Structure 1
Amino acid sequence: MTQKLYQDRAFHYGDGLFTTMRVENGRVSLWRYHLARLEHDSSRLGLKLDLSYLSHHVAAAADQLSKGVLKLHISSGVGGRGYARPEHPDMQYRLSEHAVPAHYAKWRTEGITTEVSPVKLGLQPLLAGIKHLNRLEQVLIKQHMRCDDAIVCDIHNHLIEGSASNLFWMIDGQWVTPALDQCGVAGVYRAFVLDALKAQGTPVQTGHFDVASLEHASAVFLCNSLMGIVPVKAVEHHSTVTRFDKSPVLDLQDKIKAAYERENEATD
């Protein structure tokens, strides 16, 4: 480990952001959404990003990679007194390359089984929605996971998200998703789905819902920028298994496919 990395505020405090991007045909999918979230989240954390620099280097890395995953890690750099940042942080940007998990394609067609995680998310409105570098809650969630994935609630037992994804479910023909004003990560694919459904005249209801809401659901899915939309076939909670129809989720995949392709074609 280099001395500079050892001194980095990301290493010491998790002071920074990251985003994980799918690369197809040499371009970052949903880059406009990634960029908007980076701009929003950095502003919330009081960090000033060079968005032009980021766009140029991400585009160059995607072109070279052609297909796979790029992870962009942003740190507030080195320095400051204790927790306090220096007056003018020297932002550090790091890109790493990865393969798309092979099982995601199977998940999208066959669906997955999940459980309600015993690990609850703490509440911090100042960090709610932000994809910051402190992911210890997610580490604990993964340690306790026994199924393909987990449904995660906050400490008040409100539904929030998956272990690394956003959560949607259908009740009486309407899609529903948790509000993320107290905790959780507002994913770029979640934002895309909300926009795509709104454009089709199918707005999504957002709010605070407890686990019992899933008992009335006809369909459930998880989504993120790497795996896309994945049907949830079943949720286990307190030894009770609730099963869902995956056909509405597969229909949704088809309905927004054209919007996804248009978004990526329009990406600069």
Structure 2
Amino acid sequence: MSHIPFTFRGSEEGELVGRIELPAVPPRAWAVFAHCFACGGESLAAVWISRALADHGIGVLRYDFAGIGRSGGTVFAGVTADVRDLAAAVAAMNDAGMPVSLLIGHSLGGIAAVETAVASEGIRAVVTIGTPSSADHLAGIGTRHDRFEAGGVVTVGGRSIEVAPGFVDDLALHPLAPSLSTSRVPILILHAPTDEVVGIEHASRIYAAARHPKSFVCLSGADHLLTRREDASYAASVISAWVAPYVAGSLDADPGKTDQYPRSADALTD
């Protein structure tokens, strides 16, 4: 198993930066991982799950959302911007010869994953991990916002985070039920009953709103950020087994050697 850097243009002018975790054998599918709010593509959950999935033969792009880590653009612009950027990530992977068939979203990233899966061709399955049933749950757990000021502050887990103008208002635009009620993309819902940030009731709402095929698996003993490696490894093993029938045959050609893939989406135009 190895990884390569991968950069692509997001919905804004800034360049988004990530890494692709490559299987040691020809991949059976390609995926994109959308990280949790304020986490980044180098978060423990993003790294551990992506690498574990690579061990199971699934190549995964994990990247920093706009303004986070090494990525350019406006930080915390809103879920709408995250959805656009995730769609751009899928398009860049497809153009680079790594057709994406699976989207995985952690926490707020799960909302972006579901909405992107509904609107994107070629996505055969989507996975949510500790995802709220509506993005405005983030505002409810601690937000100070004054519309006469430039932006606002969201407090999560005791950490205060300054967000861009319109971020808090944008959260209300992303309940999952409407997308789930029309989607025919198979969905796997992973959630811990001990999650103190996004309660287990959110998983119940997502499951109720989703159409079949749908599955729910409990991440017993895990916390919201999946800070224990064994929890991330278990999640990856479940995802790998569950997704198998949906991504079978998603690669039309032998993917060849991993060192043949471009190190950047920009290399396609060189």
How does the TM-score come out when normalised to structure 2?
0.24
Highest CA radius of gyration, 1 or 2? 1
Q: Which one has the bigger strand percentage? A: 1
How does the TM-score come out when normalised to structure 1?
0.24
